[in-house]
Structure 1
Amino acid sequence: MRSIASAAALMLAGAPVSAQTVDVAPFTAHEITPRIHLLSTPDDYYGPAIGNVVLIEQRDGFVLVDSGLNAGNGRAVVRYARSLSPKPIKAVMITHWHNDHPQGISSIRDAYPKVRIIATRQTEAGMLGPEAFDIGYAPGPKWDGAMNMLIAKNKEQLQKLLEAPDTAPDRKERIRKALVQFDAFAGDFSGSYIVPPTETFERQLLIDDPDMPVQILYLGRANTEGDAIAWLPKQKIVATGDIVVSPIPFGFGSYSGDWIETIGKIKALGFTTLIPGHGLPQSDTAYLDRLIAALTDLRTQIAPYAKAGMPVDEVKKKVDFSKSIDTFGTTQRSRANTQALFFDPMTGSVYRELRGEPIVQGEGSPEPDVPRDTPPKPSSKHHKS
């Protein structure tokens, strides 16, 4: 999961491809096709990271890929869907358990009580497991207090940077915007909590439609243990969740070897449009190739040190990922973000992976815990397909 502090550093690029006709803040709306839409955060958003939301309009309702970070995001998704069509939101597919992807569901379920909530079993375990939650099962004062404290801590850090004499003017401008966006985030979080999946699957699940069938696929571990993708074979559009994050990759508790294989399977789909978990759509495999190269560089450099049993702290002093880091941007800011959000955490994960040690989901990723509406329990329906 993303920490609020590190997420504020991540910035998307690009412009909306269609006019925004309804208030969907903090998102910007993009029309991929007349019946496929993307909600993503804009260039000048510096608050806590919010995953992309994809709306796919079938004949009898919308299928969503992810739901945002909080209840306010979910309400924005509902408003946007209603601006497009009176059809209901009939299903939400959760790509993975990081909280900026499933936490809008509470508001979506309020609007559409019969909505299907679909995830892999591994994602369900991450959403409901003790590694993700420790402060309660429902929204309320305990959660509000914890979130307010976390926001206050991060705002205090930003304020210190704003007042520091050596902080560059352009960075100060970003910090001012971030402070406003943190306040908006706090308001949007009221009523947020985790809603468990209503059904899980192992390898694939089809939400059929004559014009726009959606195949939900588990291709293997990658950014998390249970990453799922949505594949539209007729349109040749794939939504990857955080298997792909751009313009800067993200990896905490990830599986580098399997990640490379999973990206290869996505390439083999022959897509014409790829919608990442964060960032704007892509029309070729160039970014995927950069991710594979970066993951391969991590494994190649770390392997001899891991085999020799060198302590991981010493390994971090030996390796040099500067060339790989530069492929994701050569500014001081982009390099620092790439180092902090990908190469530093992935070094520890790759080290453990190469030594045959377990990788624990959520380990080393200081995202705020959030409450759920029920204690952990098995899904009501499971598909073995």
Structure 2
Amino acid sequence: MKSSLLFLTAFAYAAVSAAEPPYTFIEGKVPEDVQPDGNSIVFEGPKEILVIDTGRHPEHTDKIIAVAKARNKPITAIINTHWHLDHATGNARIRSAYPGAKLHASTAVEEALQGFLIRNVEKAKARLEDPSVPEPRKADTRLYLNAINDPANLVPDQPVKGAMSINVGDRKLQLHLAKYAATEGDVWVHDPASKTVFVGDLVVVPLPFFDTGCAEGWRQALAEIDKVDFQTLVPGHGLPMDHAAFSNYRSAFDAFTACAGSSQPTASCVAIWMQKGAAFVAMHPDPKYSEAALAYYVDQVLRIPAKRAEYCGNPNEAAR
């Protein structure tokens, strides 16, 4: 596309092809005072627009809509890589502007709407009534409540239950489903023509977010991605990277999660990511953030049997 919005010509971790990609990359921001937005991708076809992930805040989603308006083409399809609301809240805003947009996603969101996504409803309502809570945090709370009270814009009308494809003009995007990885069902997208993969939160910088993750299934998902012939990988958060950088990420992930599954001290596991994933840690301004988050995930998620039981489902399925 000739006038890409927020298009990056230089990638963060390694040099990649200088050729302009056939999509618009809209970077999700991670400010300190509000919840983040995930990255979004906009593909333009001859008569239509396809979007991968829609962000959380109106300011982010409006950038997606601006591309469609500038091209004078409707958004006809949305792909959600997973149900986390920083990637899916914008669905409603886009479908309000383009009611014909079909939503492609895994059905994992249906269970999340009965469990993880509704656990904090009462706390959220209390925040809205608390005069000491800053307005930006209240605005995020309203977005959360509005999203979970509007399941029609989160539950797919085109479920991704396995490998499938979707066309954008003559371009065929290949959709894959990773079970029990960053969530119960993560969709990742391969564009063979540009040798690009879009993987959502299966890759996150500066470190993987395990809040709803299953280490076993996630390792398998990264192994499957590594087999694909691609040159560029677009993560759920952070800037695009080349295949070699992704392989380094996978190596750090495997070593970190293996440590977390052992009896080694938490500090040893944290040190593994801080060393092997140093290039990714460096993308955050405060290394102490990564250290604290990694320690939390080891102690409060990865080593808690109840968490593994909840997020890994059938162990045999997660290990496939």
Interval containing the TM-score (normalised by the shorter chain) = 0.7 to 0.9
Pairing 1:225–2:174 present? no
Equivalence for 2:48:
61
Instruction: Tell me the alpha carbon deviations over residues 201-224 of structure 1, each in whole angstroms, 9 at most, x when there is no partner.
Output: 211221124532111211333211
Instruction: Tell me, yes or no, if the aligned pair for 1:254 and 1:346 is still in contact at 8 Å.
Output: no
Q: 1:276 aligns with which of 235, 243, 251?
A: 235
In structure 1, how many angstroms separate the alpha carbons of the residues matched to 2:30 and 2:116?
32
Residue 288 (structure 2) aligns with: 336
Partner Cα distance (1:150, 1:54) in 2: 37
CA contact (8 A) 2:29 2:36 kept: no
Q: 1:231 to 1:150 in 2, by over 3 A?
A: farther
Equivalence for 1:120: 106
Q: Does 1:100 align with 2:119?
A: no
**TM-score (normalizing by structure 1):** 0.65
Counterparts of 1:53 and 1:147, CA distance in 2 = 29
The question of whether the paired residues in 2 share the 8 Å contact of 1:236 and 1:271 is answered with yes
Two-structure CA RMSD over aligned residues (Å): 3.7
C-alpha contact (below 8 Å) 2:259/2:269 kept by paired residues: no
Give the structure 2 partner of residue 78 of structure 1.
Answer: 65
Aligned pairs for 1:16-27 within 5 A: 20=5
Indicate yes or no: 2:11 matched with 1:36: no
Q: Could you state the TM-score of these two structures normalised by the residue count of structure 2?
A: 0.76
Task: Provide the C-alpha distance between the structure 1 equivalents of 2:303 and 2:145, rounded to a whole number of angstroms.
Answer: 39
Structure 1: distance between partners of 2:259 and 2:209? 19
User: Matches of residues 75-224 of structure 1 in structure 2 within 5 Å?
Assistant: 75-83=62-70, 85-126=71-112, 128-133=113-118, 148=128, 153=133, 155=134, 182=136, 189=143, 192-193=146-147, 194=150, 195=153, 196-209=155-168, 211-224=170-183
Structure 2 Cα separation of the partners of residues 332 and 40 of structure 1: 15
Residue 321 of structure 1 aligns with which residue?
A: 270
Q: Would you say the 8 A contact 1:349–1:359 is kept in 2? A: no
Counterpart Cα distance in 2 of 1:33 and 1:149: 48
Distance across 2 between alignment mates of 1:60 and 1:221: 36
Q: Which has the higher contact order (CA 8 A, sep 6+)?
A: 1
Alignment partner of 1:299 is 2:258: yes
The separation in 2 between residues aligned to 1:43 and 1:253, in whole angstroms, is 19
Q: Report the alpha carbon displacement of residue 258 of structure 1 after superposing the two structures with TM.
A: 1.8
8 Å CA contact 2:52–2:80 kept in 1: the answer is yes
Aligned length: 294
User: CA 1:202–1:216 in structure 2 vs 1: closer, same or farther (change >3 Å)?
Assistant: same
Does the aligned pair in 2 maintain the 1:53–1:64 contact within 8 Å?
yes
* Uncovered stretches (5+) of structure 2, i.e. residues with no partner: 10-18, 313-320
Shift of 1:304: 4.0
Other structure's SS at 1:251 match: coil
CA distance in 2, matches of 1:292, 1:101: 26
Task: Indicate the residue corresponding to 2:316 in structure 1.
Answer: none
Task: Note closer, same or farther for the CA distance 1:291–1:340 as it changes in structure 2 (3 Å cut).
Answer: farther
- Pairwise CA distance, 1:37: 0.4
Q: Give the unaligned 5+ runs of structure 1.
A: 1-16, 21-27, 137-141, 156-178, 306-314, 362-385
Output the amino acid matched with 2:40. V
User: Are residues 1:262 and 2:221 paired?
Assistant: yes
Amino acid at match of 2:302: V
Structure 1 contact 301–319 (Cα < 8 Å) conserved: no
Identity of aligned residues (%): 21
Letter in 1 for 2:88: P
CA distance in 1, matches of 2:235, 2:241: 8
The residue type paired with residue 98 of structure 1 is H
**Does structure 1 retain, via aligned residues, the 8 Å contact 2:176–2:189?**
yes
Equivalent in 351, 358, 361 of residue 303 of structure 2:
351
Per-residue deviation, 1:131: 2.2
Is the Cα contact below 8 Å between 1:249 and 1:341 reproduced in 2? no
- The Cα shift of 1:248 comes to 3.4
Deviation at 1:18, TM superposition (A): 6.4
